[in-house]
Structures are given as structure tokens and as C-alpha cells.
Structure 1
């Protein structure tokens, strides 16, 4: 895959929707791990617009009206993220959202959905995560917004979030594929079935292999598709990626994750990316951030020596 002409890094330094503090430091940890220079090595022109500004994390209980903690602040961050991502897309740049927690995906994916509707592209979202993130405020055990973005994008929950794209749902059946799940609440299982979400959990990865899972997930990705990847760091096994607040054992290995990224790169259709839930406060010498940068290089076309040799 030839790297896109113009990449824009957008930092969203907030843990407003998370259960633990620290994800707000994720954008700068990725910069320390040299994400920008790594992308430039793949041939891209990289613009770093710095970190977005938004409200601080106030702590405190759920909002009585919406059932979410910090609802006003979550909404503010999602709106700011939406506007920044949409601006990059309209300027024909590929936005890389550096989170921050996964509630920000309501903003980024709503912007992508709005852009696809305006340009006539088909949208395909790959959600790489240990969790389904498909709770509604009514079913969420904690009220933390990072467990609800898929529900919002599917038109459920507070209308201010569900309609952030200007229409609802932002994601229709068939547009979303979740990969790597291994921690899913009973209520989420019901909603996944009800909304006909395509899911490859870790049992599917074990039984089919990552190559077949990715082949199926990418089968519909053609020349008219805008491919968005929402990459939660807890997608990875915590043995290789400890720096995240919601680790779940049994995730993809380093090699499986590399294959996943390489096969996405092979499509040549990647149009936007979220990197979320990196928590440097829980990391060891920034090793998780460095691993993420390595994987993102593969996502933008870095090839292994074996592949290079075989293609000669």
C-alpha cells in the first residue's frame, strides 16, 4: 500500500469516559514513541495539529437525566473531535485520532459517516477491541461512556450523541465489524444479535485463524469504500501491551496483530484511524506506545523482509 499523501495527527487528551485516569496522556506517549517520524518513513506527509482542548474530568456520579458519568463533558469532547476529524477529511487528509478513551469514537466515526454520506462512499468500520462497547446508559454497570460508543453510533442512548453525525444511526447494519472481543456483557450480546453486528471474537480467531478472520472482515472493501479502523489498545494481549486500563487476557499475539494490520494495509482503502485507551500511567517504560507505533507502521504499509523477498 502506498502511504496516503497527507496524514493529520489529532490529539484528544482526555479520560472523560474511562473507568481509570491516565488515558488523557496517551497522545503525548505516542508522540514520545515517535509516531510522526514512523509514519513519515512510510512515505506520508504528516501534520500534527497538536492536542484538542476540552473540559477536564470532574469525577462524580452518573448524570441523572442520561445515565452516563460526565455526560456534558463527554458530549463536548465528542463534538470537538467530530469537528476536527471532519475538517481533516474535507481537506482530503487522513485523520489519525490519538486518544484518549474510546468514547471519542462517537465523535470521530460520526464525522466519517457524515463525510461518506456527503461524498457517496460506502463506510466500513473495523472495531479492534477486547470489549463490545455496546452498553446503553440503561444497561451499563458503571455509567462510563467508553463502554457505550457502539450503542450511540447505532442510534441508541442520548440523542445528542446518537445524532452527532446529523442523522441516526451513524452506523447501519453491515457497516461495522468487531474483532478480538473477549469480554461482553449479557445485554451487549442481545444488542449485537438484534443489530446484526458482524463479530469475530477470540474463539473465532482461534478456530479460523487471524488470516481467515481478516479475509472475511475485508471481503466487502472495494474501491468505493472508506475504511475506518478504531483501534483500542486493549485489543492486544496484556502480556505484550500492559499500558491500558481495561486489560483482558487472551488477546491477539504480536504476530496476529501484525497480520491484522498488514492485511488492512493491503486493501489500500484505509481512510481514517482511532488509536485509543493507551494509558502511560499503567505502562512499563512506554513499551505499549512503542508497540502501537510499530503496528501502525504496518497499518500504513511497512512490510516484513519475507514479504518483500516473495514479491520480487
Structure 2
């Protein structure tokens, strides 16, 4: 097997290996784990929104261990400044020049804890990093490492001292999900486990950043037919002008939905996208981007129940194309 064949094999099996490793170590649902890895594979950013203490940060840390790259955790606070994330230029008396000292955003995986506690100025710095994979300091642009992933958490019930994420930043998250409470058996196993050391100490690296880049390249090559594209366009356009929705999904949302569907197909060892790939990802990809009218259940959660129920109704109403890849 030559080098190119080895890379193709690794990029095909890597996401499943990561899923199995996380599923064996964590108490959260496999569905949440698969969505996390699908987002990684699709090249996007993920927002985990849930009540405190259900394992959002643990999932983020575990993913960082699986990918043997540079991982940084940032605890966001209201007094944090953009330079605390991006870094600063410091004048060097010896060289008589300004030297740039990079901040914690310079890593492959960024664990952004309680991102909605950051003030608007700091969130604008995060937006550039998430959108362009670069930061600007003193008029100079600095590229961030590749591959790059922001895995952010926020607690919707903790409203004091938080700043709601602007719609433009929410649109930069490819997907959003909630972990929910663990099952009875998972919670019992967690209580009986030996917590003398780090609960993630048994997780070993599954792949390298180079493997993640190869995995993403392979996902981009998964075939999506005209019928799938038309299906995605119909769903996205149906959110605009809907009686319950003030602002519908953006064109970027459609691109993200297709990227996630391609990644899902790759994880299932297929080289083509099916309508089921799209349908299963509509809520995680679109719900947090919708701005609901207050009279139809807009809530404190960015991916409110009303938004998900409305999307379910839209998907039920739009006929899916016939999957025929025999």
C-alpha cells in the first residue's frame, strides 16, 4: 500500500475511530458524539449549549486528546479583552522592533468555555478567528494553524453576566447541540467509576492534525447530486418568510448543511449523500440560526424548542428526493 492509499484509508476510518474512542470513555449520548465528530470532519465549529455539569467541557477535552494537535482551553469572562485571545505586539529593546506574541487562539482545537460571557469586543475577535481562521493585531494579519476547530460551550440558564451571541457569530457555528442528561445506566457507571485520577487519562490520540486535514479533504469530495442540492435549497428557503420565523437561515446555512451531510456520508463509508443525511442534520445545523418571533416561542436557548419544532414541520412538508444509487 503506497502513501496515497494509506492516507485515503486513514481519512476514511479516522472519524469512526474517534467516535468509538469517545463513546467508550464518555457518558454522553452517542448521537452527540457523532455530531461532534461530523462537525470536525466537515471543517466547522460547534456550539454546545446545555445546563451546567452535563459534560460539555469534558467532551471538548476528550476530542482534543483524540486529535494529537495543539489544544487550548479558554475560560471566557466579562472583563476579557481581544488581546487576551489574539496576542500582543511587544517592543523588543534589543532588536528595536515589535515582536508578536501569539495568544491562546493559536492552536488546532480551541475549547471556548462559556463563550457568551465575553463582551462584544472580545466576541468580535472570536468571529474573525472562526470565520477567516486568522486574527488581526495592530493592522497585521496572522494566520491560525490548520486544521482549526472552535468547540464552544454556553449555559442558557445563566443569564447574569452574559452577553448574547450576535446572529453573525451564531451563523459561524456549523452546528449546535445539547448533550442532555446521561442515561440511568451511564450515570450509575459514572458514580461507580474510579475518579482517583483524570477521567480522560485512558484516552490516547487516534489521529494527527494531518489526518484530520486528509479526512476533511475526503469529505469535500463526497458526491452530492442535483436532487440533494435542490432539497437543501427548498428547506433553507422555507425558513424565510415563515409565519413563525423573523429571520430565516442564510445561504451559508445551506453550504454548512451540505458540508455536514457529506461528512455524515463519509463516516458511514459512503461516497455519496442521501436525503436521510440531510434530514438528520437539519435541526443541528439550522435551529440556532433562526430568530423566532416572540409570539411563537422565542426562548433563551439559541436553538429553542420552537425553532426545532418548526424545522421538523418544514421537513415533513417538503418531499425528499428518491435515493437511488444502486
Which band: TM-score by shorter chain?
A: under 0.3
The two structures have a TM-score, normalised by structure 1, of 0.24
Larger radius of gyration: 2
The two structures have a TM-score, normalised by structure 2, of 0.23
